[in-house]
């Protein structure tokens, strides 16, 4: 699982600090999460292939989370894209994009689909044979969802030395991965558990976009591997959270600790701060495994 940070800043733009956008690669899938201004340029800089993006997940309709979407959709057309693209986001996202396409008389070269969301409870919005994605209802000034990405449990793994000692033909390895007992070269039935290992624990990633401290999400986040949680402010500006409905680094750490996640990634920093390490230091007073989202940073898990 790899996370590429395209933008890590809050709404007020700064030089070389872009608004929210991320690319998540999990179980062979590539998802774009939020799409702030200049996302397509950041995709170029990070060398993420446009063609691999088939789903885009938008958390809410504040501009710093979707103003880059129409540009990216248009660039896909200029590049002659044929593969369908699906955009998941709050109700209204389809109308916003459609108006812009119609005004410019754009003729897309690929199918563009929208899945509009308005539920206040978590729902499964995407699933294939490898990955499932659920919404995480958040508490912000407007309707807002985070997204929980979970890889499905994979196949069993071959214990190569044990399989060779049991004299199992490689033609039967796929059967072993599927959990079956198989015959060896002498016609003996070999128990699956004696020559295979359990699958790797499935990867999981939760993206919690703009939200104030909201303990209701803890139950849904319990035990996940990586949590991204907005941390717009340091504790010294906690008084701003109620008006803006954002969180502090310490509040993000409290969510991570209560949910027993393995790693916390902080981001969506207010432009008033010069040293982002202050966010790490504050969060680590509560939760030790903290990483900072920074533009064009790649984090592998």
Catalytic annotation present for 128: no
* E strand or H helix at 169: none
Category of 213 on φ-ψ map: left (φ > 0), alpha (ψ -120 to 50) or beta: beta
Tokens at residue 217, please?
């999400």
- Tokens 């540009």 label which residue? 71
Q: Which two tokens stand for residue 119?
A: 């539920």
Contacts 24+ apart (CB under 8 A), 241-245: 241/212, 241/213, 242/212, 244/141, 245/139, 245/140, 245/141, 245/210, 245/211, 245/212
Give the residue from 137, 90, 109, 93 showing the smallest Cα distance to 50: 109
> 34, 64, 134, 295: which is the annotated catalytic residue?
64
Query: How remote is the C-alpha of 157 from its chain's centroid?
Result: 26
How far is CA 180 from each of CA 174, 192, 260, rounded to the nearest angstrom?
9, 6, 35
Catalytic residues: 64
């Amino acid at each position: 699982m790899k996370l590429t940070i395209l933008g890590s800043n809050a709404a007020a733009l700064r030089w070389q600090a872009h608004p929210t956008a991320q690319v998540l690669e999990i179980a062979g899938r590539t998802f774009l999460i939020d799409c702030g201004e200049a996302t397509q340029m950041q995709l170029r800089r990070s060398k993420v292939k446009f063609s691999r993006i088939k789903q885009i997940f938008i958390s809410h309709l504040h501009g710093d989370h979707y103003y880059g979407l129409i540009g990216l959709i248009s660039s896909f057309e200029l590049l002659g894209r044929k593969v369908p693209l699906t955009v998941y986001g709050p109700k209204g996202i389809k109308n916003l994009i459609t108006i812009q396409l119609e005004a410019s008389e754009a003729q897309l070269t690929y199918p563009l689909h929208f899945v509009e969301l308005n539920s206040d409870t978590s729902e499964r919005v995407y699933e294939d044979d490898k990955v499932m994605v659920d919404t995480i209802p958040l508490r912000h000034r407007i309707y807002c969802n985070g997204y929980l990405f979970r890889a499905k449990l994979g196949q069993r793994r071959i214990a190569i030395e044990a399989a060779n000692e049991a004299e199992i033909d490689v033609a039967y390895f796929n059967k072993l991965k599927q959990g079956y007992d198989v015959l060896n070269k002498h016609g003996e039935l070999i128990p699956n558990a004696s020559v295979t290992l359990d699958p790797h624990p499935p990867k999981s990633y939760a993206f919690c976009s703009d939200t104030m401290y909201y303990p209701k999400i803890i139950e849904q986040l319990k035990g996940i591997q990586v949590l991204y949680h907005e941390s717009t402010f340091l504790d010294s500006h906690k008084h701003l959270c109620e008006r803006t409905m954002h969180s502090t680094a310490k509040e993000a750490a409290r969510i991570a600790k209560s949910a027993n996640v393995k790693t916390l990634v902080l981001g969506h920093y207010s432009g008033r701060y010069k040293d982002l390490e202050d966010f790490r230091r504050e969060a680590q007073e509560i939760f030790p495994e903290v990483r900072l989202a920074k533009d064009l940073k790649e984090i592998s898990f």
